[in-house]
Amino acid sequence: MNYNFKCDYYRMTGEKYSFSIKSLINILFKHNLKLMFLIRLAAHKNSLFSKILRCYIYLFKRKYGIDMHPNTQIGEGLALGHAYNITINPEAVIGKNVNLTKGVTIGREPRGRRIGSPTIGNSVYIGVNATVVGNIKVGNNVLIAPNSFVNIDIPDDSIVLGNPCKIISNEYATKNYVFFLV
């Protein structure tokens, strides 16, 4: 089993992955675990099997609105909470122990001085319906509040609020939000 998926499983369930009936049932019936399993599996293969997995991932996109490409650079321990309508640009880079919630968009800026996709640091929580766009860097230990629009660089240990975003320095920004760290 892929190490990154084991970390994802632990972050989403709080239990270590083991090759057991319980783990298999969790993967089969929890769509966020199933999606991460398929993405991690499809990312490392370039075969007919991988193409079949990518078709299945496309069905997830249609059913749950989750647009996440297998080639996206995703660190270990990605947690999808209420995984519906999540969009991640394939060029984005996501660090370790990141939490994404319903309606999150991590997108590419097509023009202007921030052309490109974001780089998300480690131990980042992105709240419901938050949008992160452009060639920006989001530091480590950052909490992006629900409904925030982020298009500027965010330093480490920060809380981000609103549109336009307001940055508040906080050493414990993600203390009760990012849990089961790997």
Question: Tokens 């496309």 appear where?
Answer: 58
Q: Do the Cβ atoms of 50 and 71 come closer than 8 Å?
A: no
The tokens of 142 are what? 């950052």
Peptide bond into 164 cis (omega under 30): yes
| Amino acid 134: pLDDT | 94
The whole-number pLDDT of residue 150 equals 96
| Cα 47 to Cα 35: distance, rounded to the nearest angstrom | 19
Residue 46 has pLDDT above 80, yes or no: no
pLDDT reported for residue 101: 93
Closest CA to 137 of 151, 112, 120: 120
Closest among 62, 68, 110, 72 to 92, alpha carbons compared = 72
Those residues whose C-beta lies under 8 Å from the C-beta of residue 43, and which sit 6 or more positions away, are 70, 71
The reported pLDDT for the residue numbered 161 is 96
pTM: 0.90
Q: pLDDT by residue (tens digit) across 51-67?
A: 888 888 888 888 888 88
- 134 Rama class: left (phi>0) / alpha (psi -120 to 50) / beta: left
> Tens of pLDDT along 132-181?
999 999 999 999 999 999 999 999 999 999 999 999 999 999 998 988 88
Question: What does the pLDDT look like over 67-113, one tens digit per residue?
Answer: 888 888 999 999 988 888 999 999 999 999 999 999 999 999 988 88
